[in-house]
Amino acid sequence: MFTTPAFAQAAGASSAMDPLGGLLIPMLLMLAIFYFLLIRPQSQRAKQLRERLNAVRRGDTVVTSGGMVGKVIKVSDTSDEIEVELADNLKVRIVKSTLMEVRSKGEPVKEG
């Protein structure tokens, strides 16, 4: 008719660390995966683009962020602008930071 009283067992030392250890390791693993799959490759691409922008020279073919493709006519060391010929007798000045891609003189167009 009456049930016997239940006695709680003594908590072990490992159960105190379960919430911390159970969440900490997967979170660190997820951060490592995000770093190696997303953050690191993006920063490497940005570094390569900065290097190519600094090395742009006369005769290079460039692609702007607006999708225009042109040939570099004039590069100034003192300013961040370059002069690009988009068509015959159509020359525009473009800020280097708006360039998306710098192609060398003989590099073919990328497919895909």
Percent of the chain clearing pLDDT 90 (strictly above): 50
Whether the Cβ atoms of residue 53 and residue 97 lie closer than 8 Å to each other: yes
Most confident among 20-24, 44-48, 100-104 (mean pLDDT) = 44-48
Q: pLDDT band for 6, please (50, 70, 90 cuts).
A: low
Q: What is the pLDDT of residues 42-96, one digit of tens each?
A: 999 999 988 988 888 899 999 999 999 999 999 988 888 999 999 999 999 999 9
Please report, in angstroms and rounded to a whole number, the separation of the first and last CA atoms in the chain: 79
CATH class of 57-103: mainly beta
Query: What is the per-residue pLDDT for 63?
Result: 93
